[in-house]
Chains A and B, each alone.
Chain A
Amino acid sequence: MPAAPVPEVLSAPLVVEFPFTRSLGPVQSAFLTGLRERVVLGVRTGDGRVMVPPVEYDPVTAEELRDLVEVAPTGTVTTWAWNDHPRRRQPLRTPFAWVLVRLDGADTALLHALDAPGPEAVSTGMRVRVRWAAERTGAITDIACFEPDEDRGAPAVAPAPHDGVFTDPVTGIVAEARLDYTYSPGRAQSAYLHALGERRTVGERCPDCRKVYVPPRGACPTCGVATTEQVEVGPAGTVTTFCIVNIKAKNLDIEVPYVYAHIALDGADLALHGRIGGIPYDQVRMGLRVEPVWTDGGRHPDHYRPTGEPDAAYDTYKELL
């Protein structure tokens, strides 16, 4: 069979997002709870420096750090970068400067946003102060941003010891993560998906080992060579093995119990995965002969149902489990 004309390669957005939780441990708990109470805490390291934000372990000696101190809500910009196009969930909706601020009493700088009218209003060495959020929950966003402060010079602040104890401390946060991808399944799977649109299942044969891959990946994973020869397989196939799923997954709209099966379509050299229907779940068996059932608008067969043929002999599919 000659290679078919190259079809359009598909692509679609893939959004991966999850609300990860984070247990804070003693130091971050004190730091974030402090912000809620408009107190900025740092930690003193073994060599006497004050780190803001605080860390749990000494960057030089690796010893545990628990010696908390309170620093001032004012500080000095140590470096900055202008952000002309604020993105979703950044601290400010108008253009702002990302700044590293060394708070008075601290020896290290904290990353945050500076609300300034434009880059000409920002400079290294400028004095800034915390603008507290109106509603504070024990999060870094309790500092809404920094804002320019009158330049009275950096005061000589001696950080005051702090026991880090607050009522109702914050012990965990939710760190929502989101990644936006553009996903493309590539040439071979695009061709496979286009054929599925015509309710045909088309795999690709490896030129070396002659195995037919369904779905095709464009290359043979065993031989490491490109596959181009298209081979229509099925539509019927054999259930080679399966399980009965009895627990409902949150992200799946399938009623349980259902049968999740490996199905070797006739002519394919490895099994694809599908759901078995049209037969009570407890009567599904290895060797059952099945065919696809399509629904309008479905990209894939909705499920596979028995053809009524006699079961396949184990020896005919035992290499395709």
Chain B
Amino acid sequence: MPVSKEPVAVVGIGQTKHVAARRDVSIAGLVREAALAALADAELTWSDVDAVVIGKAPDFFEGVMMPELYLADALGAVGKPMLRVHTAGSVGGSTALVAANLVAARVHRTVLTLAFEKQSESNAMWGLSLPVPFQQPLLAGAGGFFAPHVRAYIRRTGAPDTVGSLVAYKDRRNALKNPYAHLHEHDLTLEKVQASPMLWDPIRYSETCPSSDGACAMVLTDRTGAARSPRPPAWVHGGAMRSEPTLFAGKDFVSPQAGKDCAADVYRQAGITDPRRELDAVEMYVPFSWYEPMWLENLGFAEEGEGWKLTEAGVTELDGDLPVNPSGGVLSTNPIGASGMIRFAEAALQVRGRAGEHQVPGARRALGHAYGGGAQFFAMWLVGSERPAT
């Protein structure tokens, strides 16, 4: 008889208050805040943790090459296994999945996982635009890279050009209900979003993510640990990662195959056949507003070409029947290295009933999603309020 996986529970979640610059703390001090908050949520101490799995943005982004070495004492990892995961912008998601797999495989019982970034100490636009010899410098940063793909989506689907602004306005409004979100734009109106400067046409300023300092941590544990948890855990019902090359003939940047395959794997593990009906909330990685309708299709919530209709109809609003990014999402908070883990953590908060003002009432199943690189790394998990059958 095959040995089944150990069910994995999220029993502790911690975030820093994300801001443009945390000049009052070192990187060690920043990660420490998130880790302590997660331990406090779980009512555990450093000695209860068996291993630490850490992720962060690409090294050039902040010039820290070996965070696992630098941060071992700050994260109570001395004498324990500690490892680092590296998958560009999806890293927060894949870091959580590596940690979850260590528990599922019964390698460790309780794992602290954490992801961070201090964008204020570097410049991501510089980090994405190294002066590689013999190449023609044409572009700097991520916005210009993704904007042509957004145009392709609009052309392919015939979406009205206002859809992006609807997403941005929704996510920024949701962020007002999330005390940890970076942007709290109380005076923002839809008209202001639509009148904001066009940076990389068709992407406007208010449809882009901010640059944030922040960290997110989670405590993952087994059934025994979950039984001791003082608060309801979130249970991992499925998790998967997929990769593909940055560029290849036939690559579909609008809806990458790796994203579709990753979602299909997660739904299969979780026994989901109709994600639109069976999921109660989604935290997806939307750094530019149009990625909401694009990912709605890629993740199977809408038929191809139909994602924008869900957004336009209000389905993805906090009170819609498929709330997307109740936390305010990446559009409101973007410490790049942590952004994927924040998606995973926010999904878990929803099914634990602990999302506070941005709680989706009665959420029982939620998806956390991250992507990175040239839309080439995907990481997702599906969490639920009930323990999965073993």
Contact = CB atoms under 8 A, between A and B. Distances in A.
Q: Are the chains A and B members of one assembly?
A: yes
7 contacts: A18-B122, A26-B29, A56-B26, A243-B203, A246-B198, A251-B126, A252-B137
Interface residues of B, number: 63
Contacts, number: 180
B136 A243 contact: no
B137 A270 contact: no
Interface in A249-287: 249-252, 254, 257, 260-262, 269-270, 273-275, 286
B155 A241 contact: yes
B248 A23 contact: no
User: B interface, by DSSP: helix, strand, loop or mixed?
Assistant: loop
B73 A57 contact: yes
Interface string B142-157: 0010011111100110
B144 A260 contact: yes
Interface in A85-134: none
A270 B151 contact: no
Given A10-B134, A252-B140, A321-B254, A57 B249 contact: no
A80 B210 CA distance: 47
A156 interface: no
Contacts of A136: none
A294 to B, nearest CB: 12
A241 B250 contact: no
Given A211-B249, A260-B138, A61 B24 contact: no
A300 interface: yes
B202 interface: yes
A197 B247 CA distance: 24
Contact of B133 (A175, A183, A245): A183
B361 interface: no
B247 A270 contact: yes
Nearest to B62: A20
Contacts of A12: 133-134
B144 A20 contact: no
Interface residues of A, number: 69
B229 interface: no
B248 A222 contact: yes
A318 interface: yes
Contacts of A14: 130-133
Nearest to B35: A62
B301 interface: no
A58 B79 CA distance: 13
Contacts of B200: 243-247, 260
Given A23-B26, A25-B29, A299 B132 contact: no
Contacts of B75: 62
A202 to B, nearest CB: 15
Between B129, B250, B252, the greatest number of chain A beta carbons within 10 A of the residue's beta carbon is seen for B250
B164 to A, nearest CB: 13
B117 to A, nearest CB: 13
Between A12, A243, A257, A274, the greatest number of chain B beta carbons within 10 A of the residue's beta carbon is seen for A243
A288 B170 CA distance: 35
B131 A25 contact: no
A249 B121 contact: no
Contacts of A300: 136
B123 interface: yes
Contacts of A262: 148
Interface in B213-236: none
Given A14-B131, A25-B28, A251-B126, A60 B60 contact: no
Interface string A1-39: 000000000101111101011111110100000000000
A62 B198 contact: no
Interface string A225-257: 000000000000000111111110111101001
A186 to B, nearest CB: 11
B249 A213 contact: yes
Interface in A295-321: 299-300, 314, 318-319, 321
Contacts of A57: 28, 32, 73-74, 76
A64 B330 CA distance: 31
Contacts of B134: 10, 12, 183, 185, 189, 193, 299
A59 interface: yes
A171 interface: yes
Interface in B44-92: 46, 60, 62-63, 73-76, 78
B356 interface: no
B249 A222 contact: yes
Nearest to B25: A25
Contact of B126 (A13, A18, A189): A18
Contact of B155 (A25, A247, A314): A314
B107 interface: no
B362 interface: no
A55 interface: yes
B198 A171 contact: no
B270 to A, nearest CB: 30
A201 B151 CA distance: 27
The 8 closest A-B pairs by CB, nearest first: A249-B140, A243-B147, A62-B76, A25-B26, A244-B201, A211-B249, A12-B133, A20-B63
B160 interface: no
Contacts of B126: 18, 250-251
Contacts of B151: 241-243, 286
Contacts of B309: none
Contact of B138 (A193, A269, A274): A274
Contact of A249 (B73, B125, B156, B254): B125
B271 interface: no
A286 B153 CA distance: 12
A246 B26 contact: no
B141 A242 contact: no
Given A183-B133, A260-B148, A273 B63 contact: no
